[in-house]
Each structure stands twice: as structure tokens, then as C-alpha cells.
Amino acid sequence: MTKVTIPIGPQHPLLKEPLSFLLTVEGEQVLESTLRLGYVHRGIERLCQERTYVQAVHLIERVCGICSHIHTTTYCQGVEALSGLQVPPRGLYLRTFLCELERIHSHLLWLGVLAKNMGFDTVFMYAWRDREIVLDVMEELSGGRISHAVNVIGGVRIDLDAAHTRSIQQRFDELERQVEKALALINNEPSLKARTQGVGLLSAEQVARYCVVGPVARASGVDVDLRRDFPRPPYDQLKFNVITHPAGDVWARTLVRVQEIRESLSLCRQILAQLPDGPTSVAMKRRVPPGEVVSRSEAPRGEVIYYIRSDGSDKPARLKIRTPTLTALITLADQLRGVNVADVPVVLSGVDLCIACADR
Amino acid sequence: MRELLAALFNLLIFPGLGFLFVCAMAFEWGDRRLIARFQGRVGPPWYQPFADLIKLLAKEDILPNDAEETTAAVLPMLSLAAVLTAALYVPVAGYAPLSFEGDLIVVLFLLSLPTLAHFLAGWVTVGVYSILGGNRSLLQFFSYEVPFLMALSTPAIFNGSWTIAEITARQTVWNIFILPLAFLVALVGLIGKLKRDPLDIPKAKSEMVAGPLTEFSGRKLALWRLSMDMQTVVGVFLLVNLFSGGASMLAPLAFVFKALAILALLSTASVLYARLRIDQLAHLGWRVLAPLALLQLLVTVWMGG
């Protein structure tokens, strides 16, 4: 049979962001795949060095279109550590509250994209409908559905009152019901299982070799979660389970992510219940003392790392961002080898790509 | 003169082009609306299928340089013509002016032409997605067509006639109750034939872009869409006639109701499942549907039809 080269990208209905795959296909089987990246490289790291620490927050918000808040959180954590700022507990709790909301929103969005890519529009519509609940809450809190601009160096710029808390809790009840339905569907729906089980296999050894993080690693049975392993406040005060699954296929990733939504919901409820009183932020000094810091946090897709070096001026001397998607992208060559062409969309969406994050 | 007028009426208005066009638009709207309601959406207004069609007709018609332009232009017309011809022999509410002995076989043959046209369309427009999509539509054809044909010949054998109108008229109890397996296989086969979700494998958007029709645009794409819509109508009418006929029940209102019920079944199926892979469809076709259809056929023959 003759070999055909199928281009997936840079523009393709499958992809929500520009990325290019060249698949060498024999019949319906993929033999090899070549990856090209860099279509949305914006030079954010360099641009941040041209701006002051405060201005950079707004630029870093735009590294990712889905997990914008976790990027600014990680950055602000780093700068706060460098300048020795103590963020008030209420500020930390509210910051974490938004992190967990963002995780729910990101996982629901991903569930929708996966369903759409395997031709299951109903699940796509349901997942994105339920995601609206979270987006509404985030919009009420910050004024933005996706880009919240909530973090400032030294805390957050939002606050919650009692009436608003109650209204949010009521909507969480509805979301919880929908998440239970989604879980039942993933566990029972035969056509969904037929399309995801045994597809995109990644063993624990491969996860270790490629340094894969986040839900993809956890779905291969690797028990890593920065929130538990190196808990920053307030995670040390909160109870949650780290979800793992030994199967290592796309189905396991689906299950892990949807169960994580449930855990995040419980985290959100705990935060609302324990929310301490007090101010939400402290003022920062314009100049940051010389030094360097590595700031890490658990984004929806796994560990995100910021390296910041300061030379004592009001601008970062060097800023390096390492996002979880980059590690997942490397595994795709292995995952795609030998799969059916029809499974390519499932494999690609299974790792939850965020190209903007990877390209920066 | 009167005969000529009557023939023209049959061809152009009822049950030919005009009636079929209205039905196609109505079915597409009903289908989209129902799916939208299932998925928690509102769905399009009633004139959306018309608007889509007019928009496509008005758009620029481009093909790749290497494409065979004549064949690419003829194929959608061929597909539409085959469906329109088939429609003339499928009785509507018992009205079948052109019916003749053995018209079921002609209809089945004509209804398989659009799939072959899809395959050819993929080849002559020379895109990577087109060719792969074309291959897939042929593979899909081989998976569903045999069980589909077996399922549709079961009522013919049971009622002892290969004329659709006769089969309809001879049913005392609806065939759907006597031959449930055949109806089930025919329904799945129809989904495969119409390339509807969850068997839209040849045009699977997430990997094949639009399959064999990727390179089509403008008027040609409009004709393709129209022929698919009309094929839906003809397919649904065929199932109504073969499986839920009966002389007394064939009042126009009952006919419409039955057709809508089958359309609702198609919509429900497209909401309930994820798209199958081509190998999973082949498995379904040959290991599940074909034995079921064969079983039903053998039982029917054994009962002495």
C-alpha cells in the first residue's frame, strides 16, 4: 500500500490553536509523525524583561488563554518571595479559590474538546454548558471570563461578601450534579469507551523518561501533585485526594480529569467555608532586591515553573517560563506511532494541548 | 396532453422535485432542531436550511488546479438525479403513480449511487483528505450495504412482492412488529448510508476535514447537501412504507407522523453515540448487523413468507 502524508495543521478543524503535524500514513495506520511548533511564539519572556514587575503581570496573564490565572499566581509568588512580601491569608485563599475554579473550567473545556474530536457532540455541548457556571462565577468575581487580572504582586484585587458566597455555593450544587452525570457517562457509555480505551497509551516509564506532569502523568499511575507534595498555603490547610489511574490511556485521562473536577469543587467549598478575615493584599515596593527564585505551582495541565532573576532594578533581569504542555508534546510521537488515523484526534486532545503556553 | 401534464406534475411537483425539496428542508430543520433540544441548545429557525442553501448557491465555486472539472461538476448532479428518480417510486401516503413490479430493487440501486458518487468525488478533486475520505466512504459502503439490502428484502419476501406499494398495502400488522431485527438493521444501515452521526466516518471533521467533499464549494456543495437531504427523506419514506405500512393507516397525516417518528429515531441515534472508527464499523456491519439480518431473512423464508 502506498504511503500518504496527511498534514494536520497549522490550520485544521481539529486544532483550536496553530500547531503542525505531518502524519505519514499507510492505509488507515499512522507510521510516523513530525511536529512543528512556534506558530504562536510571542516572545513573552523577553518582553517581560522590557517591562516593570507590575506591568509584566498583565503580559503574563496572556501566556495562556485557559489557565491565565495560574501563570500570574506563579509569577506573583516568585516576586513576592524575592521581595519578602507576606501575602495576607485572605488574599492567598481567594487566589487559590480562583486557581481551583480555573482547574474546573479548564477540565470541562477539555472534556468538551475531546468529545467534539471523537464526534460526540452531545457531551461537548453538555460540558461547555456546565462550564458556563464556573465562567459566570469567575466573571462576577473579577469582571473577566477568561482573563481575570485578579493577581497583583502582594495579593489579589478582589473580595467576596457573604451573600455572594451563598450564591456561589448554590451554583456549585448544580455543577456537582452535572459532574456526577459526566462521571457515570464516562464509566458506562460503550461508544465513548470504545473510542478511548487502549488509545494513546503511555506507560509510567515513558512518563518518567519524558518528565510528563499533571493529569497525563497521574492517568499513567504516577502519583505526582505539587499541591500535595509541596503545599503552599492554603493547600496545607485543605483536604483533597490526588486522583490516579493505572491504565495510561485516553479513557483514564478522562476519568482522572473529571474526578479532579470533583476534588476541585470540594476544595472550593472548603476555601469558602474557611475564608479568613482581613485585608486581601499588601503594597509592594517598586524595586525588587537582587536574587533569583524558582516558583512552581500545579496548573490544570500539571506543574508550571517560573524562574525569575532580579538585579535590583524595577524590571526582571531574566524570566523563564516552563509549561506542562511542552512535556506532553514530546510524548506525542510515541503515542501516535501505529494508531488508526481516526484515533489521531483522540490522542492529540487526550494530552490537553495548550499551544500558546508551549510557544509563549 | 393530459398525460403529459400529469407526468410533468409527478416529476416536478408531487411526489417529485417540489415536494421532495420542501420535505428535505423541513426534515433538515426538524433534525437540527431536535438535536439542538437534546443537547440543551435552541437550534436554528425554520428558514435556516433555505438560507444555508441560498448562501452556498451564491458563493464562489472553486476547485483545485488538478481536479477534473467536468466530472466534479457532473457528480453532484448525478447524485441528485439518482435520489430524485428513486423518490418517484417510493409511495407517499399510498400515492405511487409510477409504481411497477420490482421497483424496490431499482430504488435500492439508485440510493446506492450517491455513495459511489462521493467516492468518485474524492478521487477527482485530488486533495489528501478527499482521497482518504473517498476511500473511507467506499469502505463504509461495503460495511453497511449488504446488511441494509438483506434487511430491506426481508419485508419483500415476507409480504411476497418486490413492489413497494404492494408491500405497504399487504401489511395487516406493521412489519416493524413482525420483523423487528430487520427494522433495526435497516435503521443502522440508513444511518450509514446517509453518513449521519455516529457513522459520519468518511466526513469525520476532526481528522478528514470534510472527507470527499473537502474541495467542493459554492453551487456544487449546495447540490451535494441538497442531495443528502433528499436522500434522508427518501430513506425515511422507504422505511415507513416497508415497515409501518397497512392500507387503513395510510392517511396522509398518519404517514407524516410515522416519517417524523423515524426521523426522530435518526436524530436520537446521532445524539447518543460517539463516532465509530472505520474498523469498528466493519466489525459492526459484518459481525453484528449481517448475521442479524441473515437470521431475520432465514426465519422469514422458513416461516414461508
pLDDT of residue B235: 92
Partners of residue A8 in chain B, C-beta under 8 Å = 207
Mean pLDDT of all residues belonging to chain A:
87
For B94, left (φ over 0), alpha (ψ -120 to 50), or beta? left
pLDDT of residue B248: 57
What are the DSSP E strand ranges found in B61-191?
none
pLDDT of residue A74: 92
How far apart CA A31 and CA B97 sit, in angstroms, is 56
pLDDT of residue A197: 86
Residues of A at the B interface (Cβ-Cβ below 8 Å)?
Answer: 4-8, 12-14, 25, 28, 115-123, 125-126, 129, 189, 191-192, 194-195, 340-345
Share of chain B above pLDDT 70, in %: 98
A116 to chain B nearest CA, in Å?
8
B279–A28: do the CB atoms touch at under 8 Å? yes
pLDDT of residue A1: 62
Does residue B155 surpass a pLDDT of 60? yes
Does residue A339 surpass a pLDDT of 70? yes
Q: Please write the tens of the pLDDT for every residue from A217-239.
A: 999 988 888 888 888 888 888 88
Task: Identify the residue among B207, B213, B270 best suited for mutation to test binding to A, counting A beta carbons within 10 A and taking the highest.
Answer: B207
B132–A4: do the CB atoms touch at under 8 Å? yes
pLDDT of residue B242: 87
How far apart CA B93 and CA A96 sit, in angstroms, is 65
| Residues paired with A29 in a beta bridge | A26, A340
Does residue A39 surpass a pLDDT of 70? yes
In the structure grid, which three cell numbers stand for residue A201, read together?
497509551
What are the angstrom distances between the C-alpha of A233 and each of A53, A88, A89, A326, B44?
23, 11, 8, 27, 49
Domain A43-321 is found in CATH 3.40.710.10: no
Q: What is the 3-state secondary structure (H, E, C) of chain A?
A: CCEEEEEECCCCCCCCCCCEEEEEEECCEEEEEEEECCCCCCCHHHHHHCCCHHHHHHHHCCCCCCCHHHHHHHHHHHHHHHHCCCCCHHHHHHHHHHHHHHHHHHHHHHHHHHHHHCCCHHHHHHHHHHHHHHHHHHHHHHCCCCCCCCEECCEECCCCCHHHHHHHHHHHHHHHHHHHHHHHHHHHCHHHHHHHCCCCCCCHHHHHHHCCCHHHHHCCCCCCCHHHHCCCCCHHHCCCCCCCCCCCCHHHHHHHHHHHHHHHHHHHHHHHHHCCCCCCECCCCCCCCCEEEEEEEEECCEEEEEEEEECCCCCEEEEEEECHHHHHHHHHHHHHCCCEHHHHHHHHHHCCCCHHHHHC
Nearest CA in chain A to B133: A28
Does residue B48 surpass a pLDDT of 90? yes
Share of chain B above pLDDT 90, in %: 24
- The minimal CB distance from B197 to the residues A4, A119, A345 is found for A119
Residues 6+ apart with CB under 8 A from A67: A102, A106, A299, A300, A301, A304, A354, A357
- Of the candidates A217, A222, A231, A254, the one whose C-alpha atom is nearest the C-alpha of residue A350 is A254
Q: Please write the tens of the pLDDT for every residue from B191-200.
A: 988 888 888 8
Q: Please write the tens of the pLDDT for every residue from A262-315.
A: 999 999 989 988 888 888 888 888 888 888 999 999 888 888 999 999 888 888
Model confidence band, residue B246 (pLDDT cutoffs 50, 70, 90)? low
Model confidence band, residue B54 (pLDDT cutoffs 50, 70, 90)? very high
Coil, strand or helix at B5: helix
B161 to chain A nearest CA, in Å?
38
* Mean pLDDT value of segment B6-10: 80
Higher pLDDT: B13 or B113? It is B113
* ipTM value for the complex: 0.82
- Of the candidates B274, B60, B256, the one whose C-alpha atom is nearest the C-alpha of residue A120 is B274
Structural contact between residues A273 and A80, judged by C-beta atoms closer than 8 angstroms: no
Model confidence band, residue B7 (pLDDT cutoffs 50, 70, 90)? confident
Does residue B71 surpass a pLDDT of 70? yes
Structural contact between residues A287 and A312, judged by C-beta atoms closer than 8 angstroms: yes
Mean pLDDT of all residues belonging to chain B:
86
Partners of residue B209 in chain A, C-beta under 8 Å = 12-13
How far apart CA A87 and CA A80 sit, in angstroms, is 8
pLDDT of residue A14: 79
Strands A29-36 and A20-26, sheet pairing: antiparallel
Q: What is the largest CA-CA distance in chain B?
A: 59
How far apart CA A205 and CA A195 sit, in angstroms, is 24
pLDDT of residue A26: 83
B204–A8: do the CB atoms touch at under 8 Å? no
pLDDT of residue B250: 58
* Range of A92-96, A161-165, B16-20, B161-165 with top mean pLDDT: A92-96
Sequence spans of domains, chain A: 43-321
pLDDT of residue B28: 92
Does residue B55 surpass a pLDDT of 90? yes
pLDDT of residue B2: 82
Does residue B33 surpass a pLDDT of 90? yes
Structural contact between residues B296 and B182, judged by C-beta atoms closer than 8 angstroms: yes
Coil, strand or helix at B223: helix
B275–A12: do the CB atoms touch at under 8 Å? no
Share of chain A above pLDDT 70, in %: 100
Partners of residue B201 in chain A, C-beta under 8 Å = 342
What are the angstrom distances between the C-alpha of B194 and each of A24, A285, B114, B216, B223?
30, 67, 9, 18, 15
Q: Phi/psi of residue A302, each to 5°?
A: 125, -165
Does residue B46 surpass a pLDDT of 80? yes
Structural contact between residues B121 and B129, judged by C-beta atoms closer than 8 angstroms: no
Model confidence band, residue A107 (pLDDT cutoffs 50, 70, 90)? very high
Out of A108-122, A324-338, B102-116, which region has the weakest mean confidence (pLDDT)?
A324-338
